[in-house]
Chain A
Amino acid sequence: MNRTTPFALLTNSNALPWADVPEWPLLEFLRNVGTELDRGERLSSLFGVPEGGALRLVAVLAFDAGNTLAVARSQPFSGNFPSLTATHSQAHLFEREIWEQHGAVPENHPWLKAVRKDHGAGPAVGEFFRVDGREIHEVAVGPVHAGIIEPGHFRFQCAGEEVLHLEIALGFQHRGIEEALAGGPHRATVYQMETVAGDTTIAHATAYASALEALAGTEAPLRAQWLRAIALELERLANHTGDLGALAGDVAFLPTSSACGKIRGDFLNLTAMLCGNRFGRGLVRPGGCPRDGDPDRLGRLRERLETALAEVQQAAVWLWDAASVRTRFEHTGHLHAKQAAEVGLVGPAARACGLVRDVRFDHPSGWFRFAQVPVSVWPDGDVFARARVRWLEIQRSGEFLREQLDAAPDGKTLSSLPALAPNTLAVALVEGWRGEVCHVALTGTDGRLRRYKITDPSFHNWTGLALALRGQAISDFPVCNKSFNLSYCGFDL
C-alpha cells in the first residue's frame, strides 16, 4: 500500500477491536466509501448494525492490489441515507438489503425493492422494470423451474426473441440464517453455516471457522488449515466438473455431459473419504478439523484423484474439440470487463472477463499463505470464457492437490477454541468455487455474536447474469444461466 486511506486496514481472517474501526458521520462515511470505489477498490460487504434505536453502516472493502481489507463504520443515525447506488452500482443490492433489514431508506436509489422478504404480496411480487412498446412482450419464469434446481423468478422483457432486459427476483429460499445467528454461536450454528449454500459447504464453513478463530485470537492447527485447503479444492473440482457437464448438456453435447455427471460424483466421493459426507459436512469446525486422514487413506484418495482427473481431462478435450460447442459458447452471454468491475463481479465469472481477482491469490489466508494457486483468467467474457476458466481451474486445482497431498504437515488437526473477544470485528474471505465468500462477525460486550453478515458470491454475481442476457436470444438463457451457475439459497440466506 503506497497511498493513504482513512480506513482501518486488516488482512484476511483477522480481527480488530470495534473501537478501532474508524467512525465517521454518515455523509462522510458514504463519501469515503465512494472515494475508494472510485479508485477501483471493491465492495466486499456493506451492512447495517443496529445501535439502540439507531443504525450504523459498516463497509468492508477489498483492496485487491494491496492485498488488504479496509473497514469503517458510520456514526449511528436515524432515518434515511443518501444512496450510493446511482454512482456506484456495486452498492445496489447491499442498499436494498439494508432497507429491507433495518428500514432505513437509501434515498434516490434507482430500484428500491425487496431482496428476499415478503412485503405482503408474496416474494418476488411487486413492480418489475418494464419496457414499453407495442412489440414488446414479457416472459415470466419461476419460481418452480423445469429442471431439478432451486426456485427463483426471472422476468424477461423481449422484442421477439431478443431479451432487452432481465430482472431476477429471489428470496424463495429465505430461511433467516443471519437472524438465527444473533446471540450465537448456538449449538446449531455450525450446521447452519454448512448449509448456507449446500454445494459450498467447505467455503462457508471455513469462512465461519476463520472468523471465530480470529475473534478468539487463535488459529487452527496447521494440519487443519492444510485439510481445509484440500477440501476446498475438491469442492471446486466437483462443482466445476459438474458445470462443464451441465453446459455441455445445454448445447446437447452428450458425451461430455454424461461423463462429467459421473466424474463430479467421483470428486464428491473423495470429500466423503475425508469426512464421511459427499458435501463435506462435519469436515470443518471452529478450532480445526475433527477428523484427520491417515497416510493410507490419503494415499487411496490420491490414487482416485488421478483417475478422476484423467477422466475429466478426456471429457473436456471432447468439449473443446467440437465445433458445434464452440459456436454455441462463443459470443453468447457477453459481458465487458468494465461492466464486470462496475457491478463488482467475483469468482470465475469475473476472471472470465479478464479480471485478475481471486481471494486465494489477493488475500491468502490459512494454507494458501504457503501454497499458491495461479489465477486463471480468460479475456472474452462470454459463455465460452466462463467454461474455459472452469477448465483452467480444474487443472490448477488438480495440480495443487497433487503437490499438497505430498506435502502434508504433521501435528494435530483440532484445538479447542478460546472464548471470543468482546466488542471485536472479524472478517474472513474464502475463494469458494463461485467466488468470494465473505463473513463478517461482530461480538457484543458479552462476547456473543451481535451481528453476523454473510455475503455469498452469488450476491455479487446475479446482476452479472442479468446484464449478460441483454441483447441475447431468450433461448440462450439456459446456457447463460449455467455458465454462471449461481446459488439461490446462498443469496437468499
Chain B
Amino acid sequence: MFVHDTLLNRLKRGCETMAYPAGPAPALPDGHGGALRVEAAKCQAGCSACVAVCPTEAMTRPPRQPVALDLGRCIFCAECVKVCSAGAITQTGDHRMAVRRREDLKLGDAGKEQLRLAAALGEELRRLFGRSLKLRQVSAGGCAACEADTNVLGTIGWDLGRFGIQFVASPRHADGLLITGPVSKNMELALKKTYAAVPEPKIVIAVGLVRSLADRLSATPRSTMALPHCCPWTYSFPAVRPIR
C-alpha cells in the first residue's frame, strides 16, 4: 500500500524545496539575532564589560585601544550584546557569514564593523566547480551539530544537489573539503591525509568555530577559507587543548 500512499502524498504536497536563493531566505528564528556588528567608536572610555562576559576570549580590549571581536573564536552567545550599554555591539539579523580571509572575521575598527562577506571564486575555479562541486566532509573535534545541519542541506527542503553540490565518500573523488570543528589534536593527522588526498585544484570550507584553521591549511595557495556557516549558532566547541 505504501507505494500508492507515498506517490499520492508526494503529488499532493508538491515541491517542498525552498525558493532560496532565487526567492527569499527562510526566516531566522526570532531569538537568533544573526550576525554581529561592532562599532568600537561608540565604546565608552574604560569600559570592558563585554570582555568580562565573553566565554571564549573572542572579545578583547587592550589598554588605550578600542574593543575588537574575533568571530573566529566567537560562539554567538550574544552575552556581549546584553551588557553593552553604549549600543556598540548589536545583531544585524543577517544569516550570511561566509568569508574568504581570516582577517575578515575581525570586527571593531571603522569600516570593519561587520564581517567582510566572501567574494565569488576566481574565474578558473568558477569554471571548474561552478556547476559541479563534490565535497568530502571531515569532522574534527566538533560537537556533531554542524554535521547534523550539514546533513539537513541534503534534505528535500534545501536540496543542495540542485546546485551541483554533493558530498562524496572519498576525498579522491572530491573537489574540496568541508571541515567541521576546531580540529582536535587526535584528528590532525587524518585531516592532513584527507586534505592531501583531494586532487588539485581544491577548496576548503571550514564550518563552525575554526580559530586557527586558516593558518593551518592556507599554506596551499589554492585553499579557500569560508567561515561560519551553514548552521548559524551551532558552533563547535572552543578547543580547550592547544591547537597550533
0 or 1 for each of B227-243: is its CB under 8 Å from A? (1 = yes): 00001011111111100
A192 on the B face (CB < 8 A): yes
In the complex, A201 Cα to B144 Cα: how many Å?
A: 11
Check B190–A143 contact: CB distance below 8 A. yes
8 contacts between A and B (CB under 8 A): A172-B187, A173-B141, A173-B181, A174-B186, A175-B237, A195-B143, A275-B31, A277-B29
- Residues of B near A186 (CB, < 8 A) are 55
Residues of B in contact (CB 8 Å), total 61
10 nearest A-B residue pairs (beta carbon): A276-B31, A198-B143, A198-B145, A261-B155, A146-B169, A272-B29, A195-B143, A255-B6, A188-B55, A123-B186
0 or 1 for each of B158-176: is its CB under 8 Å from A? (1 = yes): 0000000001011100000
Check A276–B190 contact: CB distance below 8 A. no
Check A198–B6 contact: CB distance below 8 A. no
Closest residue on chain A to residue B30 by CB atoms: A276
Q: How many pairs of A and B residues are in contact by the CB < 8 Å rule?
A: 177
A258 on the B face (CB < 8 A): yes
Check A175–B156 contact: CB distance below 8 A. no
Among B29, B167, B234, point to the contact of A148 (Cβ < 8 A): B167
Interface of B is mostly: loop
Check B29–A276 contact: CB distance below 8 A. yes
Stretch at the interface among B39-47, B146-154, B212-220: B146-154
Contacts A118-B185, A265-B155, A269-B29 hold; do A198 and B139 have CB atoms under 8 A apart?
no
Check B144–A489 contact: CB distance below 8 A. yes
- Residues of A near B185 (CB, < 8 A) are 118, 174
A88 on the B face (CB < 8 A): no
In the complex, A188 Cα to B138 Cα: how many Å?
A: 25
Q: From residue 183 to 226 of chain B, which have CB atoms closer than 8 A to chain A?
A: 184-187, 189-190, 194
Chain A interface (Cβ < 8 Å from any Cβ of B): 116-118, 122-123, 143-144, 146-151, 171-177, 179-180, 186-188, 190-192, 195-199, 201, 242, 255, 258, 261-262, 264-265, 269, 272-279, 281-282, 291, 314, 317-318, 321-322, 487-489, 492
Q: From residue 6 to 54 of chain B, which have CB atoms closer than 8 A to chain A?
A: 6, 9-10, 16, 29-33, 53-54
In the complex, A26 Cα to B173 Cα: how many Å?
A: 55
- Residues of B near A197 (CB, < 8 A) are 143-144
Contacts A148-B150, A149-B147, A172-B184 hold; do A188 and B189 have CB atoms under 8 A apart?
no
Check A192–B237 contact: CB distance below 8 A. yes
In the complex, A171 Cα to B33 Cα: how many Å?
A: 35
State the Cβ distance, B83 to closest chain A Cβ, in Å.
13
Kindly name the residue among A188, A198, A321 whose own CB sees the greatest number of chain B CB atoms within 10 A: A198
Known contacts A265-B152, A272-B29, A277-B234; 5 additional CB pairs below 8 A are A148-B147, A173-B187, A175-B141, A273-B29, A278-B231
In the complex, A116 Cα to B237 Cα: how many Å?
A: 17
- Residues of A near B55 (CB, < 8 A) are 186-188, 190-191
B90 on the A face (CB < 8 A): no
- Residues of B near A179 (CB, < 8 A) are 240
Among A117, A190, A258, point to the contact of B155 (Cβ < 8 A): A258
- Residues of A near B77 (CB, < 8 A) are 191, 281-282
- Residues of A near B72 (CB, < 8 A) are none
Check B190–A262 contact: CB distance below 8 A. no
- Residues of B near A282 (CB, < 8 A) are 77
Check B236–A195 contact: CB distance below 8 A. yes
- Residues of B near A117 (CB, < 8 A) are 186
- Residues of A near B136 (CB, < 8 A) are 144
Check A262–B186 contact: CB distance below 8 A. no
Check A177–B240 contact: CB distance below 8 A. yes
Closest residue on chain B to residue A122 by CB atoms: B189
- Residues of B near A317 (CB, < 8 A) are 2, 5
- Residues of B near A322 (CB, < 8 A) are 2
- Residues of A near B186 (CB, < 8 A) are 116-118, 122-123, 171-174, 492
In the complex, A485 Cα to B190 Cα: how many Å?
A: 22
Closest residue on chain B to residue A263 by CB atoms: B155
Q: From residue 57 to 107 of chain B, which have CB atoms closer than 8 A to chain A?
A: 75, 77
State the Cβ distance, B230 to closest chain A Cβ, in Å.
11
- Residues of A near B171 (CB, < 8 A) are 144
Closest residue on chain B to residue A152 by CB atoms: B139
State the Cβ distance, B112 to closest chain A Cβ, in Å.
26
Contacts A174-B184, A192-B240, A258-B155 hold; do A199 and B148 have CB atoms under 8 A apart?
yes
Among B32, B143, B144, B189, point to the contact of A277 (Cβ < 8 A): B32
- Residues of B near A144 (CB, < 8 A) are 136, 138, 171, 190, 194
Closest residue on chain B to residue A142 by CB atoms: B190
- Residues of B near A489 (CB, < 8 A) are 141-144, 237
Contacts A265-B157, A314-B9, A488-B144 hold; do A276 and B32 have CB atoms under 8 A apart?
yes
In the complex, A122 Cα to B188 Cα: how many Å?
A: 10
- Residues of A near B181 (CB, < 8 A) are 173
In the complex, A488 Cα to B184 Cα: how many Å?
A: 13
B132 on the A face (CB < 8 A): no
In the complex, A176 Cα to B243 Cα: how many Å?
A: 12
In the complex, A147 Cα to B150 Cα: how many Å?
A: 11
State the Cβ distance, A146 to closest chain B Cβ, in Å.
4
- Residues of A near B194 (CB, < 8 A) are 144
Check B143–A187 contact: CB distance below 8 A. no
- Residues of B near A116 (CB, < 8 A) are 186
Closest residue on chain B to residue A490 by CB atoms: B144
State the Cβ distance, A475 to closest chain B Cβ, in Å.
15
Kindly name the residue among B2, B75, B137, B167 whose own CB sees the greatest number of chain A CB atoms within 10 A: B2
- Residues of A near B56 (CB, < 8 A) are 188, 191
State the Cβ distance, B169 to closest chain A Cβ, in Å.
4
B1 on the A face (CB < 8 A): yes
In the complex, A275 Cα to B28 Cα: how many Å?
A: 12
B133 on the A face (CB < 8 A): no
Closest residue on chain B to residue A276 by CB atoms: B31
- Residues of B near A278 (CB, < 8 A) are 29, 149, 231, 233-234
B115 on the A face (CB < 8 A): no
- Residues of B near A176 (CB, < 8 A) are 240-241
In the complex, A175 Cα to B10 Cα: how many Å?
A: 44
In the complex, A173 Cα to B139 Cα: how many Å?
A: 8
Contacts A261-B155, A265-B152 hold; do A198 and B241 have CB atoms under 8 A apart?
no
